[in-house]
Every structure is written in structure tokens, then in C-alpha cells.
Structure 1
Amino acid sequence: MSKRYALSDAQWERIKDLLPGQAGQPGATAKNNRLFVDAVLYRYRAGIPWRDLPARFGDFRVVHTRHSRWSRTGVWQRVFEALAQDADNEYAMIDSTIVRAHQHSAGAKRGDPDKQALGRSRGGLSTKIHATVDALGNPTGFLLTPGQAHDLQGADALLKDTPAQAVIADKAYDAHARLIKPLLDKGKIVVIPSRVTNRQPREHDRDLYKARHLIENFFARLKQYRAIATRYDKTACNFLGAVYLAAAMVWLA
């Protein structure tokens, strides 16, 4: 059996007890959690429709339904958050990236496109992934919005209670009243260059700002998952679940 994109034994040992369906837990015991996780990883890494999953993973409809349930009930998020407890909070970086949405990702039941984090622009449908990473470039949090949303929407959600001692971001986050002053009031160091139009430009630590490439490196790793680099999922819930799983794999690397 091919092990392409599959979990290694060491990676499986780190997450197996975080998954539902363990023997002795309430409810039914899950059938082969490891094969299921490998199936989801394969689908998103290869960027294929669910129906094109290799037969060794079983009925693709069962895999898709189970992934939807685990995304909806927060299983992938809990796995990610358990691993992210080891974050280095000396400083945090925030940024966002836009991913083009496949035409088949539209039309989800229940809810308008905004609720599914889909926005329509000149280039078509898109989703914006807002993310934070720690001082080592490991992911610590996510938010999905429609592609045309402002970066500050991500900052509002992801930096509100950040434990980091310093925050590094680019000029898109130069908003004194909305972001910078609240962080300064909490005793944080803010490393955000001023916009050219800012009438009261701030000094910032240029050497520390150079570390911002780490979040760009993380986005590059995230987009190795082809079904994340191009969004195939109709629901924001399933897409975010996949982002959490891919981010967990960064922690497991």
C-alpha cells in the first residue's frame, strides 16, 4: 500500500489519543481512525474530488461524511489546538492569504456566500485565510472571511487575547485606534510599519520585522495542499476543518 501523504508512525502516536471513537469512550468505537485521517490528508494534498479517492480508503461518501462531522464538531480544531499549546509566544505574526474558490464550491445549502466565507471579485469567488504564527513560524490560529474582507477582521478575532509579548504585521494592519493602541495598552510590543499616508509615523524594530517571512513560509507550506490552495469545499466549516488538519501536520513535522 502506498504511503504517499500518509501519517508516519511517530505522527500517528502523537494524535491518536486526541481523536474520538477510542475504546472505552462513550459512543461507538471508530473503525480505523488512522486510515480515515490518511484519506482526508490524501484528498486535500492531492487536490482531487472525494469520489476520486483510491479504493483502499473505502467508500468516499463515508469518508466525506465523517470529515464533515469532525469539522462541524471541532475535532480537527481540537487536535490542532492541542499541538499548538507548545507555541513560542515571544512574538506572534499575523497575515492573510487569498485562495481562489473552485466554481463547484458555490451553492452550499443553508446560508449566503458571506456565511460560507466566499466573496465575489473580478477574479471570481475567493476566500481569505487569516492566520497567526508563533516566533518559530508554527501556526496558532485561523479565521476565514470572504476574499474581499479587510485584513483587520482577522486581527480583531485572532489578536484579541494573544499571549504573545510582541506582534509583527505589515502595513495593512496600521490602524492605531482599532489595533495598535489596544495592544500597547496591554503591554505588547507592536512591530507594524506606518503607512505612507500616516500623519504620525511610528518607529518600529526593523530587525525584528525581518522575522515576518516566517508567516509567508507557513502559507507556502499550507498551499502544498492543493485542495486548500484552491478551495473545493462548499462549506466554510469543512474547508476550515481541512486548514486545521493541515496546520496540525505542520506541528507534527
Structure 2
Amino acid sequence: MNRRHELRDDPWERIKDLLPGRAGHVGVTAADNRLFVEAVLYRYRTGIPWRDRPQRFGDFRVVHIRFSRWSQSGVWKRVFRGWAEEADNEWVMMDASLVRAHPHRAGALKKGPEVDQAIGRSRGGLSTKIHATVDALGNPTGFHLTPGQTHDLVGADVLLADSSADAVLADKADDAQKRLVEPLEKAGKQIVIPSRSTHLIQRPLDRHRYRARHLIENFFAKLKQFRAIATRYDKTARNFLGAIHLAASLVWLN
């Protein structure tokens, strides 16, 4: 019987050949890649400190260092992108969700030039905003992190710039005619964004298609089942985003 939070066999079979350290890959062969991935998942599922993980996962310092290296080198992002390439591009949905940053983890040690760790002060205190897009089936396709007080349009600038979707769905917060709507219309995309009530000219809205926006809310609900993502405990944006890419890959696989 599998332990709680272990990786099932079917998703493991689909990601094992994408990871460094596998048999036949350039470099040193890892002793147990699966145990390492399960150690990372256990930490983010439960939200416990790295040092408090069960002993079966080995030295927590080794696991944390390896996770950080894979985040820095883009391993988790490459795994995620492998699935995101299968997206249904009939339309793309975009939204953002705020997560509180734990006070003891709010900011990395400052060595050399200060680095933006995507933590800011919003109404709820120190926080990070996760900007995300999902495809027409609700599968995640992209992420961008900003400090919590940042406007949603900053994420839209990054995530929608090169989108291949035929239509773009978003809420009123993204109704910026010159900054967002006009460039997307020039690219030949259908705009499914409600007009602000203050606009003299109300843009036509496909309300039937707009109802599908619940899919991105469903995705955020799945993402926040990982307790160390629902509350940010990572000091660095790099590691936090790495964990998001890993969790999002599992959404694709499950």
C-alpha cells in the first residue's frame, strides 16, 4: 500500500525520463530520483519545514539543496513546459491569486545586489501574487510571480504576449483598451473580457464562453491543495516558482 503523498506509478512513468540523474543521462546517475521527487512533494503538500520531513527521505539538507539547484537550472519548468505544449488553444484564461508570505520566510538573505523575490505588502500583509493562464480544458499553461500589491495587468503583459490561443478570457481587472485589448485584437484574437461600467462604449461579450472562466478558479483550488504554495514559506521566488511548476505538472498528469 502506498504511503500518503507518494507519487503514483502512472505519473512517475510519464516524468521519470525528463529528469536529470536518470540512467543513461549525461552525468552522475541519481540513487533514487523518485524518492527525491516524493520528498519535495511531501514538503509542499504538507507545508512542514524541510528539516521535519520523515527520515525515509534522507538528509533534508541534501534534498533542499538539490531542489534549489533544479529550480535554478529550470528542471521543474522544463517538465511543466513539456505538458503545456499539449494545451488546447481554442482559448486561454488568465487570472491571479494572492498568497500570504509567512513572516519567517519573507525575503532571502541579502548578499550582493538586492534581488526581487516577488514579495510585497498588500492589504493582508506580506504576500505574493501568482499570475496564471489555463487552456480551454482548464490545464495550466503559464505562470508569473509579482509582489502582492502588483496589478493583474503586469501578469497579462508577460503571459499573453506570445499566446497562440484564438480567444482570451479574463475579468474586468484586465479591461485596459490600449495596453491589452487593442494589441490582442490586432493579433486576431477574440476578446472575452467584460467592459468596465465606466466605459461609454461597452464591448460585446460572449457570455456563454465567459462562463468557462470557472476553470481557472478550479485550477487555483487544486494548486492551493499544496499547503506550502497556499502559504509561501520559500525565501526565494526561484524555489517558489519551481514548486508551482512541479505541482502544475501533476495537475496535467492527474
Q: Unaligned regions of 5+ residues in structure 2, if any?
A: none
Percent identity of the aligned residues? 69
Matching residue of 1:53: 53
| Superposition TM-score, scaled by structure 1 size | 0.97
Per-residue CA deviation, residues 158-191 of structure 1 (Å, 9 max, x unaligned), is 0001010000000000001111111110110010
Deviation at 1:231, TM superposition (A): 0.2
Q: Which amino acid aligns with 1:126?
A: S
User: How many residue pairs get matched?
Assistant: 252
The CA distance in 2 between the partners of 1:122 and 1:84, in whole Å, is 33
- For the pair 1:17 / 2:17, whether they are aligned, the reply is yes
Q: CA deviation at 1:197?
A: 1.3
- Provide the rounded CA distance (Å) in 1 between the counterparts of 2:72 and 2:107: 18
SS of 1:140's partner is: strand
Q: 1:4 corresponds to which residue?
A: 4
Is 2:132 the counterpart of 1:151? no
Instruction: Kindly indicate whether residue 105 of structure 2 is the aligned counterpart of residue 102 of structure 1.
Output: no
Q: Deviations over 1:191-243 (max 9, x none)?
A: 00001112222111011000000000000000000000000000000000000
1:22 Cα deviation after fit: 2.1
Provide closer, same or farther for how the CA distance between residues 146 and 32 of structure 1 changes in structure 2, counting only shifts above 3 A. same
Q: Would you say the 8 A contact 2:22–2:30 is kept in 1?
A: yes
Aligned to 2:253: 252
Aligned partners of 1:216 and 1:241: how far apart in 2? Answer: 21
Which residue of structure 2 lines up, in the alignment, with residue 138 of structure 1? 139
User: 1:126 — aligned with what?
Assistant: 127
Q: Please show how residues 1-253 of structure 1 align to structure 2 within 5 Å.
A: 3-110=3-110, 112=114, 115-253=116-254
CA distance in 1, matches of 2:221, 2:39: 22
- Offset, 1:30: 1.4
State the Cα RMSD in Å: 1.2
3-state SS of 2:45 partner: helix
Structure 1, 103-112 or 180-189: larger mean CA deviation: 103-112
SS at match of 2:4: coil
The residue matched to 1:130 in structure 2 has which SS?
A: strand
Per-residue deviation, 1:2? 5.0
Map Cα deviations across residues 77-113 of structure 1 (whole Å, 9 max, x no partner): 0000001111100000000000000011123124647
Match of 1:86, SS? coil
Confirm or deny: 8 A CA contact 2:22 2:33 kept in the other structure. Answer: no
SS at match of 2:141: strand
CA contact (8 A) 2:107 2:119 kept: no
Give the secondary structure class of the aligned counterpart of 1:95.
Answer: strand
AA paired with 2:246? L
The amino acid that maps onto 1:181 is E
SS of residue in 2 equivalent to 1:116: coil
Q: Give the Cα–Cα distance (whole angstroms) in 2 for the partners of residues 31 and 122 of structure 1.
A: 46
Cα distance in 2, alignment partners of residues 136 and 123 from structure 1: 32
Structure 1 position 25, deviation (Å): 2.3
Q: TM-score with structure 2 length normalisation?
A: 0.96
Name the CA distance, whole Å, in 2 between partners of 1:192 and 1:204.
Answer: 7
Output the amino acid matched with 2:6: A
Could you list the per-position Cα deviations for residues 32-78 of structure 1 after superposition, in whole angstroms to 9, with x for gaps in the alignment?
A: 11000001001000110001110000001111111100100000000
Partners of 2:20 and 2:2 in 1: CA distance: 26
